[in-house]
């Protein structure tokens, strides 16, 4: 996919360079307190906008990309994988979910405006606190409750935007050489182990990318929001606001900024639509309403905690730290909250493990 083409593979988006992004349904957190990572409850279905030219709004066709159905106040997280290192920008209504800055055509620092793959396994929300994020929650445009509305004062774009940048040629060749060296070292260690030697295997590199049919058009230029003479926005258009806070780090890039290409390998606009609009546009039944979080917890099902001992968390920016949860606009839904027991929270990543006692010897 060196030509910049973005493709759909099932319910995954494949960006050039082997970047894979999935949109995951999840439990919505209470808007007070800080919580463990909620579980994944299946993927959101993805469809190409261009496959429905007679039923999608004209501005969607102009922006291209894909669409997915989401219920009011439903939460989601983004799952990432990458065959090679990549800098991935994530926009919420063209506001960077990492820095709070306006959408940019290139990676930047001070503040960092991307996540680093494959180091960052997922992103559940905006980078709004030290060691925490505020959960992505879908809300309709027009209320001012979206991240876009609160940061910019306007709601023009909605949806989610993705843009990936590969390493430049020199940095990529150096990384590939290092991966070959690690693979050769692993092979030698295995031979020694098989012949009675010892040693630990080296870290495995990221899995390879999968090819897939179905290219996705990229989003185009600016479209007026609603000045006189402009087409009205579709009633089913949605954006991302924020919900509860959870423990999750957005990792600081430890590479020089100059290692990354200044040109994007690929980008895509992801339109969020209400279930009724999804049915009207595609003729398909939308996914059912999300599961009740209290029932999930009562059933003893797992929540999660992820820790990377080598990762450094990015500091939050003032713009994203000031974003208010959607309950300030839509009110409290009064869903009872039952926190998970300690045994329900499963450690992931560099799990600390249980301590080992010592004695006299």
pLDDT score, position 211: 34
The count of residues in the chain is 361
Write the DSSP symbol of residue 177.
H
Could you tell me the CA-to-CA distances from 193 to 180, 187, 196 in Å, in that order?
20, 10, 5
Distance CA 359, CA 361 (A): 6
Residue that wins the pLDDT comparison between 198 and 125: 125
- Cβ atoms of 56 and 281 within 8 Å: the answer is yes
pLDDT score, position 335: 60
pLDDT score, position 205: 36
Could you tell me the CA-to-CA distances from 191 to 188, 194, 202, 333 in Å, in that order?
5, 5, 13, 60
β-pair type (303-307, 345-349): parallel
Backbone angles phi, psi at 284, to 5 degrees: -100, 150
- Cβ atoms of 71 and 326 within 8 Å: the answer is no
Average pLDDT over residues 91-115: 95
Residue with tokens 């800080």: 34
Q: Whole-prediction pTM value?
A: 0.78
Q: What is the DSSP string of 313-345?
A: BPPPPHHHHTPPPTHHHH--------PPPGGGE
Residue that wins the pLDDT comparison between 275 and 221: 275
Q: Is the pLDDT of residue 262 over 90?
A: yes
Average pLDDT over residues 167-189: 91
pLDDT score, position 190: 82
Average pLDDT over residues 75-84: 94
- Cβ atoms of 338 and 298 within 8 Å: the answer is yes
Residue that wins the pLDDT comparison between 186 and 331: 186
Write the DSSP symbol of residue 249.
-
What burial class does residue 101 get, using C-beta atoms within 10 Å of its C-beta: 0-12 exposed, 13-18 middle, 19+ buried? middle
Average pLDDT over residues 347-353: 54
β-pair type (66-69, 115-117): unpaired
Residues 203-216: tens digit of each pLDDT: 333 333 333 345 67
Q: What is the 3-state secondary structure (H, E, C) of 338-358?
A: CCCCHHHEEEEECCCCCCCCC
Given pLDDT bands bounded at 50, 70 and 90, which one contains residue 222? very low
């Amino acid at each position: 996919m060196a030509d910049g083409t973005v493709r759909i593979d099932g319910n995954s988006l494949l960006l050039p360079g082997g970047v894979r992004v999935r949109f995951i349904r999840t439990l919505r957190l209470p808007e007070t307190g800080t919580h463990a990572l909620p579980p994944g409850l299946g993927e959101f279905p993805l469809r190409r906008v261009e496959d429905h030219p007679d039923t999608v709004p004209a501005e969607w066709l102009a922006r291209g990309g894909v669409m997915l159905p989401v219920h009011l106040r439903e939460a989601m997280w983004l799952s990432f994988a990458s065959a090679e290192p990549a800098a991935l920008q994530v926009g919420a209504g063209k506001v960077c979910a990492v820095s709070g800055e306006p959408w940019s055509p290139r990676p930047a620092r001070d503040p960092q405006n991307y996540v680093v793959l494959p180091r960052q396994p997922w992103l559940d929300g905006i980078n709004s606190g030290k060691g925490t994020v505020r959960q992505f929650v879908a809300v309709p445009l027009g209320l001012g409750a979206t991240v876009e509305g609160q940061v910019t004062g306007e709601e023009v774009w909605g949806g989610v935007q993705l843009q990936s940048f590969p390493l430049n040629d020199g940095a990529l060749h150096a990384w590939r050489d290092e991966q070959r060296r690690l693979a050769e070292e692993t092979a030698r260690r295995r031979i020694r182990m098989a012949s009675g030697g010892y040693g630990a295997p080296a870290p495995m590199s990221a899995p390879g990318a999968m090819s897939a049919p179905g290219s996705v058009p990229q989003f185009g230029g600016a479209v007026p929001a609603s000045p006189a003479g402009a087409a009205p926005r579709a009633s089913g258009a949605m954006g991302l606001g924020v919900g509860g806070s959870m423990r999750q780090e957005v990792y600081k890039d430890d590479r020089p900024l100059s290692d990354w290409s200044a040109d994007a390998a690929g980008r895509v606009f992801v339109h969020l639509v209400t279930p009724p609009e999804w049915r009207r546009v595609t003729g398909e039944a939308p996914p059912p309403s999300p599961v009740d979080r209290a029932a999930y917890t009562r059933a003893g099902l797992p929540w999660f905690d992820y820790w990377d001992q080598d990762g450094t968390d990015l500091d939050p920016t003032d713009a994203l730290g000031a974003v208010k949860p959607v309950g300030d606009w839509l009110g409290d839904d009064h869903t009872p909250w039952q926190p998970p027991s300690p045994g329900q929270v499963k450690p992931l990543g560099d799990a600390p493990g249980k301590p080992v006692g010592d004695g006299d010897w």
